[in-house]
A and B are shown apart, each in its own frame.
Chain A
Amino acid sequence: MTRDQLASMTKRQLLGIARDRNLRGRSTMSKADLVDALSDHKEPADTETPDVHGLGGITIPGIAPEDRAEARARRDALNERLSEFVDLDTHCDWQSAEGHPCGLPVLTNSHRCGLHGDGSIADRAIPLTGKLGFSAWPPLWRHLSLATYDIDAFGLDPVVAEMAWHLLNMLYYDYFRVEVEGIENVPMDGGAVLVANHGGAALPYDGAMLSLAVLNEAAVPRRVRVIGTEIFNMLPGVSHLYRKVGAAYATRDDARELLRRGHILGVFPEGERGFMKPVWEAYRVGRLGRGGFAELAEEASAPIVPVAIIGSEEVHPAVMVSKRLAKLVRLFFPEQRVEEIAIALNPVPLPIRWHIRFLPPVMPSKPDHHLDSLDQLERAEDVRRTIQSALDDILSRRRTAF
């Protein structure tokens, strides 16, 4: 369209074209500005490769095309980095009971693939074909349906976990556009306790995004074993899926055992009270439980990494907190300690731009030093203050939530 053609249109028509082209800032423009902007605007070239691993051509309201382009770039960078962990030229020599070969490429410097190797897959999440994407799914389905591999003691199923990783990356890159800072504070081997603020009101997105942040950004993709309440163990459909993707049950025994095996533990000590925060209390970190995480980390002499997560507490802003609904829930789950239920009005999470900051680790004290209950609470309070000030800092720099 030429400039003259545009100038002869009404402002309403111009706004319509601007909307179709997703022109930013159109609502505040005058008619002359619109004509200028639309005549400068170039149609996107068709030669660009389609985004096969992401959402493809689906447009999401509220997400700008620049963000989509960036998401694609980040995804490609991740796949390139991950492909280095796998040697595509050599195939795994594992055979099933009937002699069917495994067919997956081997891990670099190993003679087996991730599924049939020596079990490092429980800690290191290396995609079995070296990349994440739907093109990797047929071999995954094959191994899933033939049950050719073993799970770990907590129920981690590497194939299901990889599929979930791929699917949740769409949320991570395209929808929540998570930015990560300070990933170098997460140790690349041995146990560690990641302590984060909790939010969500409807679904624990923060647990998923925290694990994905470590998987996607760290030099070595390590699994974060997030621990959740027993309600996950009781709900049909959820009870096994959440174990298959690598989570565990929040009991001291499980946490201790995970740390003993040298895994990264992800904990949300605010617990259910933090999860059910109403929107006017968002990003105000509550008491971090009884500070049990400090004792666990001390026992295993693992560092505590405080994590500030911006985003989780706004995706489902809870407009009210109901005690009556909690009573109703207790009728069905009499053993559940539900005090109140947060009610959010949006069934779909808001497209908030997330920001996760890993803070410098709190190192365990000397081996002969015993941590008494007061030390524990003090350490928990220190961690809480660190997270709170990091949250305040990120919030003060943030221009918009979306």
Chain B
Amino acid sequence: MYMQRVLITGAASWTGGNLARHLETRPDLEVFAVDDQKPRVEFTSEFQRLSLDRLTLARYVLDVRPDVVFHLQSIHPKSEHGRNTEAEERIVGSLALFGAIERLDTIRRVIVKSDTAFYGASPRNPSVLKESTRPQGTPSRFQRDLTEMERFIADAAVRQPDTAFTVLRFAPIFGPRVGNPISRYLTLPSVPTLLGFDPRLQFIHESDAIAALEHAGDHPVSGTFNIAGHGQLYLSRILRLGRRIPQPLPGRLFDGALNGLQRLNISVPDHLRGLLKHGRIVDTTEMTRTLGFEPTYTCRQTVLSAYGRQPEGER
């Protein structure tokens, strides 16, 4: 039986590690994982620690000759935090990777993890963002990087009509185990919020995020898709559901409080500050209709599960 070869970049991240762990249980797949850091989640597949911003990655890809590429760490995590030299290099790494993909004729699917931060968080954005919506307002650094990366993919997809390029724009991933900036922020015992603003937020449950990536690997559909759970919640409601105490602070103090959190190793990157002011809701019609993916958790259930309450108890 032919084993499909799967390459996962950014396997050190929570999502990457769990995807590798999930895919290696399947008998029809052979998993190869790369990252430049030590994995946060343990898995047994071959892991190669190499710099993602050099040509080494491209050479490795040419060696492995994968069938499916999951490009998860397309953006350097530090890019989320506004420091940008590494981010710049990582973009170059993505460029090299897409070059390698173009040279190999074995690759049939490329799945890229993007973020709904692509749309930014502007008061001028429409209430419901579709995949085709052009974002408004001044873009953050992270947003610019995402835009640039998605442009590479669009270019590559034009040149390689036989390969399915799937871009998944994930809503913030939330759940009981994932440790990303937004989940650390929301699970603080007392959460600083911006006085006078109550953003509408949307999440994807951590297990649904892995399932969405796997689904995209199994069902090749070219295109860009928003990935989020059904429904949406106001930040104040989320904190009520989690029994957390909101601390409404006026603008300057709010910024100060978030900077203070950075000392406690809970960083709130710039693009999340915009999100905590204006919120963001994406349209998921394309996700269910064209991609055919149906998340098991609604946003509400995601929040309940992340705070350790029983979402299935709610009927």
Pairing of A with B? yes
Interface of A toward B, CB cutoff 8 Å: 93-99, 145-147, 150-151, 153-155, 157, 230, 233-240, 243-244, 248-249, 251, 253-254, 257, 335
Q: Shortest Cβ distance from A255 into chain B, in angstroms?
A: 9
Cβ-based interface call for B247 (8 A): no
Q: What chain A residues lie within 8 Å of B314 (beta carbons)?
A: 94-97
20 interchain pairs, CB-CB under 8 A:
A93-B315, A94-B315, A95-B314, A97-B304, A97-B310, A98-B309, A147-B238, A150-B298, A150-B300, A151-B234, A153-B283, A233-B123, A233-B278, A234-B123, A239-B196, A240-B198, A243-B200, A249-B124, A253-B133, A254-B128
Residues in B127-155 with C-beta less than 8 Å from chain A: 127-128, 130, 133
B124, B237, B281: which has the most chain A beta carbons within 10 Å?
A: B237
- Bound-state Cα–Cα, A168 to B34, Å: 60
- The secondary-structure label for the interface of chain A is loop
- Bound-state Cα–Cα, A97 to B99, Å: 50
- Contact across chains for A237 and B124 when beta carbons are under 8 A apart: no
Q: Please, what's the 1-or-0 string for B200-242, where 1 marks a CB less than 8 Å from any CB in chain A? A: 1000000000000000000000000000000111100110110
- Contact across chains for A146 and B197 when beta carbons are under 8 A apart: no
- Bound-state Cα–Cα, A345 to B3, Å: 79
Given A95-B314, A97-B314, A240-B234, the answer on whether A154 and B127 have CB atoms closer than 8 Å is: yes
Q: What chain B residues lie within 8 Å of A244 (beta carbons)?
A: 234
Given A95-B314, A98-B313, A257-B127, the answer on whether A157 and B234 have CB atoms closer than 8 Å is: yes
- Bound-state Cα–Cα, A234 to B197, Å: 9
- The secondary-structure label for the interface of chain B is loop
Q: Shortest Cβ distance from B286 into chain A, in angstroms?
A: 14
Known contacts A146-B240, A155-B234, A253-B126; 17 further A-B pairs (Cβ under 8 A): A94-B314, A96-B314, A97-B309, A97-B314, A98-B310, A145-B240, A147-B240, A239-B197, A240-B198, A243-B200, A244-B234, A249-B124, A249-B126, A249-B127, A251-B124, A253-B127, A253-B128
Ranked 10 nearest A-B pairs via Cβ: A236-B196, A233-B123, A240-B198, A253-B126, A147-B237, A147-B240, A97-B313, A237-B196, A97-B309, A154-B127
- Bound-state Cα–Cα, A249 to B200, Å: 14
Q: What chain A residues lie within 8 Å of B128 (beta carbons)?
A: 153-154, 253-254, 257
Q: Shortest Cβ distance from B65 into chain A, in angstroms?
A: 44
Cβ-based interface call for B39 (8 A): no
- Bound-state Cα–Cα, A249 to B278, Å: 12
- Which residue of chain A has the shortest Cβ distance to B315 in the bound complex? A95
- Bound-state Cα–Cα, A238 to B123, Å: 12
Cβ-based interface call for B311 (8 A): yes
- Contact across chains for A230 and B123 when beta carbons are under 8 A apart: yes
Q: Shortest Cβ distance from A214 into chain B, in angstroms?
A: 21
- Bound-state Cα–Cα, A146 to B197, Å: 20
Q: Shortest Cβ distance from A124 into chain B, in angstroms?
A: 19
Q: Shortest Cβ distance from B84 into chain A, in angstroms?
A: 26
- Which residue of chain A has the shortest Cβ distance to B128 in the bound complex? A153
- Bound-state Cα–Cα, A243 to B236, Å: 14
